[in-house]
Structure 1
Amino acid sequence: MKVVVIGGTGLIGSKLIGKLNEHGHEAVAAAPSTGVNALTGEGLTEALKGVSVVVDVSNSPSFEDEAVMTFFRTSTANLLKAEAGTGVRHHVALSVVGTDRLQESGYFRAKQAQEELIKASGIPYSIVHATQFFEFMKGIADEATEGDTVRLAPVKFQPVYSDDVAAAVGRTAVDAPVNGVVEVAGPDAFQLDEFIRNALAAKNDPRTVVTDPHARYFGAELQETTLLPGPDAHIAETRFADWAAQQK
């Protein structure tokens, strides 16, 4: 099966390419560096000729509200138009657990707009919702930092290893379209503020983590279960403690 991965040179994309090729599929990375730009449409039609599945794991270079909305709306519309013209039979997109519950955030409003375009396109699709990657913990802390203080809500979350996300996206890509959402999450739930506090301490990061029930997560206020997957989620195998031990 020939699969084009939009954003195929990034963290998830590069792992996904490797996993698909290992299993005998022909996976091709598509990104601006390879001459394919979903935002401008450059190279899309040529890249999608003879392709069965398109997987979109691209992300906006800016999280500013207007920029991120423009990115996901424009790139997704360009992709879907090119897919319709070349006969692609399955569109797979990577999104985030809780997207529909995080609509105070400009980033998640843009992800929701992306998902709605996909659902309305008429192209068979699967959307993979993943929880926060282990590798993204510093990004969460940085976004919540003011001066030397990190403000985070005492809510549960269930982070996942990016390698497990790539595997889940790969399985979804080569299976039949579900025309719905598949969730993937890590095996352990943690309290967000405590987890980041411990992670920063382990790195000798001098910032102070303050527990604040009203602290915003990328612009959105969180409820206890906002970031948690549903009961039917695929639970990945890799535990954070095992992953962290390998990073030392």
Structure 2
Amino acid sequence: MKVVVIGGTGLIGSNVVTRLGEDGHEAVAAAPSTGVDTITGTGVREVLAGADVLVDVSNSPSFADDDVLAFFRTATTTLVEAARAEGVGHYVALSVVGAERAPESGYLRAKVVQEQLIRESGLSHSLVHATQFYEFAGGIADSATADGVVTLPDGGVQPVAATDVAATVARTSVGTPRDGVLEIGGPEVFGMDEWIRTVLTARNDPRTVVTDPAARYFGTRLDAKTLLPGPDALVGEVRLADWLTT
């Protein structure tokens, strides 16, 4: 199969491209650095010519509410129109577990808009919902830090290794379209505060993590299950302790 990976030079995308190539597929990494821009439309039709599958694992360069909404709305509209025009048979997009349950978060609202555009496109599709990546722990800590103190809620999280997410996206891309959602999370459940505290301790980071149930996670309040996948979710193989050693 020819699989075009939008965001194919990033954390997940580069891994997806490598995996698909190793399995004998023609995997094409598409990104602004390769001449493909989903905001302006430059190079999109050209890279999708002859493609069997479109995988979108791209992300907004800005997480400001208006910016991220504009990014996903514009990019997804561009991709949907190009996929229709080029006869792409399967549209795969990476999204976030619980996005629809967290409307106070501008980022997660934007992901819901992205998914809606894909669902309404008429294209065969698969939406892979992943939990927070282990690799995001540092950024989460930084976003919640003031005066050397990290203040986070204790809502439940089931973080996952990026490699496990990439493997799921790659398998899904060459499988039968689900026309629905597939969830993946890690093998362990933590409180958000507990997860970040564990990572910072392992890295000898001197910041203190303070638990505040009312603290917001990228603009939204979390309860015990807001960000947790359902019982039918795939479970990644890499445990947090093992990831921390690598």
Q: Same fold (TM over 0.5)?
A: yes
Paired residue type of 1:238: V
Q: Hey, what does 1:28 align to over in structure 2?
A: 28
How many percent identity over aligned positions? 60
The aligned counterpart of 1:55 is 55
Question: Partner residue of 1:214?
Answer: 214
CA-to-aligned-CA distance 1:29-83 (integer Å, 9 cap, x gap): 0000000001110000111000000000000000000000000000000000000
Q: How many residues align?
A: 246
Distance 2:233 2:112 in 1: 19
Alignment partners' CA distance in 1, 2:207 and 2:236: 31
Distance 1:207 1:32 in 2: 36
- Cα distance in 1 for partners of 2:233, 2:137 equals 21
Q: What whole-Å deviation, never above 9, does each CA across 1:179-202 have from its counterpart, x for those lacking one?
A: 110001111111211221222122
Mapped partners of 2:198, 2:185: distance in 1 = 21
Structure 1 partner of 2:203: 203
CA distance in 1, matches of 2:157, 2:193: 10
Letter in 1 for 2:212: D
Q: Kindly report structure 1 stretches of 4+ aligned residues shifted beyond 4 Å.
A: none
Alignment partner of 1:38 is 2:38: yes
Query: Within 1, Cα distance between the matches of 2:38 and 2:169?
Result: 19
Partner of 1:14: 14
* Contact 2:215–2:221 (CA under 8 A) maintained in structure 1: yes
Structure-1 residue corresponding to 2:155: 155
Q: Classify the secondary structure of the residue corresponding to 1:139.
A: helix
CA contact (8 A) 2:202 2:244 kept: no
Quote the Cα distance in structure 2 between the aligned partners of 1:194 and 1:47: 43
* Matches of 1:149 and 1:55, distance apart in 2: 38
Secondary structure of the structure 2 residue equivalent to 1:150: strand
Q: How far has the Cα of 1:167 moved from its partner?
A: 0.4
- Whole-angstrom CA distance in 2 between matches of 1:205 and 1:237: 26
Distance in 2 (CA, whole Å) between partners of 1:224 and 1:21 is 39
TM-score by length of 2: 0.98
**1:92 paired to 2:95:** no
Q: What is the SS of the residue equivalent to 2:42? A: coil
Q: Is residue 114 of structure 2 the alignment partner of residue 114 of structure 1?
A: yes
Specify the SS of the correspondent of 1:216: coil
Q: Once the 2 structures are TM-superposed, how far is the Cα of residue 147 of structure 1 from its aligned partner?
A: 2.4
| Residue segments in structure 2 that go unaligned for 5+ positions in a row | none
Q: Structure 1: how far apart are the matches of 2:158 and 2:138?
A: 16
Partner of 1:235: 235
Paired with 1:5 and 1:74, the residues of 2 have a C-alpha distance of 17
What runs of 5+ residues in structure 1 fail to find an aligned partner? none
- Secondary structure in 2 aligned to 1:217? coil
1:181 counterpart residue number? 181
TM-aligned CA deviation for residue 148 of structure 1: 1.4
Q: Which amino acid aligns with 2:228?
A: L
Q: 2:143, 2:102 → 1: CA distance?
A: 15
Show the counterpart of 2:190: 190
